[in-house]
Amino acid sequence: MLRATIPLVVIFLYSGAYLSAQVDSRAAEIEAARDRKAQTLEPDTPTPTEQRLVYIRDKKVLERITAGIAGFRVKLGGLASGSGFAVGPEYLRRDLWNRRALFRGAAQASLRRYQKYDLQFSVPPVARGPYFLELTAVHRDYPQINYYGPGPDSKKIARSNFRLEDTQSNGTFGVRPIPHLSLAATAGYMLVNVGPGTDERYVSSEQIFTPSEAVGIADQADFFRSGFYAQYDYRDNPGGPRSGGNYFVEYNNYSDRTLGLHDFQRLDIEVQQYVPFFNKRRVIALRGRSTLTFADESRRIPFYLQPVLGGSDDLRGFRPFRFYDDNLIVVNGEYRWETFSGLDMAVFADAGKVFPRRAQWNFKDIEGSVGFGLRFNVRNNVFLRTDVGFSHEGFQVWIKFNNIFSEGPVNAPHTQLGF
């Protein structure tokens, strides 16, 4: 013990007792402490970890990685559900025309050999200016799209797959006459090819479904599309809405320019409502969506343009693209609660169906799923969503980098294409 204590006593004598002889006032005591500190001064350098974090922030490393180099960057995801991990280069310029215009081009491929190439030129509503324009061109080659046959009674065991290959050119011109309201006219041309699916675990669609069941599976057509949409969006924060609503209606006429067999009109209506309570720490998110199609007796809608249900964005207890038919109705309800500021949890229920005749627009024979999920956010913007959905066909786990409900009409700027 003595050996251990003596050095301490020596230290004490040289620091405390030695000084006590000089300290006879409070001011002197403070000065003595300053004396001691002055003997050990060193630069107040942050830890290496903190220095790295400061460097990352100051040099905007994350922003530069996200933005890329000279406009080039890596684009992840954004292909159809079931495509697997997708990656590819993207060229993005937001600084055109004095930052009033945007140009983007991307090429992506996924582990399951899905491919997508797209170009976009946009003139978004300039600050407080009412008009917007968007021109897009996209080529998609999706070799393994699920198809279970037409109608609400298709069987799970009838799973097949097909290749969807299309090229679309679209233009949208719109105006925002008042805050929250967008009105736009759209037009586009679409070249479609359908081929055998490449997922060898399942039969290719054309082998089990006849052209009368899967209309258009044998011969595809090119389409000219024209239409318009209106959207009223007063969500408080589109990146992670907790209050407000988003309503839109879109009408399109599809004109078969090749075969003259598949002319039809399509009406999409969606209503989203976010009902907050307890100061927005709890939210009930509701969505109703319906797609109705209109065609002459002699015309039939090709299956690859039919409304589709099932997947991460509507019936979450079912596999992607589980149900195809001419019409669709789906409702979703989520109860979300904040666990901490960066995470909301949700329990949800989905119900919907596809149906061949518009007279069946009701909730009879509806499919349902329930589940729970997590919504991770940064500054109230959701960047990651995980959902586990259960249905009578089993359960599905979804990991998505978007909100559950779509931003707007299919042909509105920044809305992803259907598949």
Using CB under 8 A as the binding rule, whether residue 43 contacts another protein is answered as: yes
Q: Nearer Cβ to another protein, position 276 or 288?
A: 276
Using CB under 8 A as the binding rule, whether residue 157 contacts another protein is answered as: no
Among 307, 375, 390, 302, which residue's Cα sits nearest to residue 336? 375
| String of contacts with another protein for each residue 89-118, x by CB under 8 A | ------x--x--------------------
Q: Nearer Cβ to another protein, position 49 or 298?
A: 49
Of residues 121-150, which lie at the interface with another protein (CB under 8 A)? 127-128
Q: Catalogue the E-assigned strands of 181-281.
A: 181-196, 203-204, 222-233, 244-256, 264-277
Cα-based distances in Å from 156 to 65, 175, 365, 370, 394:
42, 44, 16, 18, 11
Of residues 52-91, which lie at the interface with another protein (CB under 8 A)? 53-54, 57-60, 63-64, 67
Distance, in Å, from the CA atom of 69 to the CA atom of 91, rounded to the nearest integer, reads: 9
Distance, in Å, from the CA atom of 401 to the CA atom of 384, rounded to the nearest integer, reads: 5
| Angle of CA points 225, 303, 369, to nearest 5° | 110
Binder among 1, 157, 178, 359 for another protein (CB under 8 A): 1
For 264, phi and psi rounded to 5 degrees? Answer: -160, 170
Q: Nearer Cβ to another protein, position 7 or 296?
A: 7
Polymer length of the chain: 419
Using CB under 8 A as the binding rule, whether residue 45 contacts another protein is answered as: yes
| Angle of CA points 401, 411, 399, to nearest 5° | 15
Using CB under 8 A as the binding rule, whether residue 178 contacts another protein is answered as: no
Binder among 176, 282, 299, 400 for another protein (CB under 8 A): 282
Using CB under 8 A as the binding rule, whether residue 361 contacts another protein is answered as: no
Using CB under 8 A as the binding rule, whether residue 378 contacts another protein is answered as: no
Query: Exposed, middle or buried: residue 117 (CB in 10 Å: 0-12, 13-18, 19+)?
Result: middle
Residue 9 CB neighbour total at 10 angstroms: 11
For residues 260, 353, 198, 73, the Cα torsion angle rounded to the nearest 10 degrees is: 90
Beta carbon of residue 173, minimum distance to another protein (angstroms, whole number)? 23
Using CB under 8 A as the binding rule, whether residue 38 contacts another protein is answered as: yes
Of residues 297-316, which lie at the interface with another protein (CB under 8 A)? none
Task: Please report, as ranges, the residues that interact with another protein according to CB under 8 A.
Answer: 1, 4-5, 8-9, 12, 16-17, 19-20, 23-34, 36-38, 40-47, 49-50, 53-54, 57-60, 63-64, 67, 95, 98, 127-128, 278-282, 335, 337-343, 345, 347
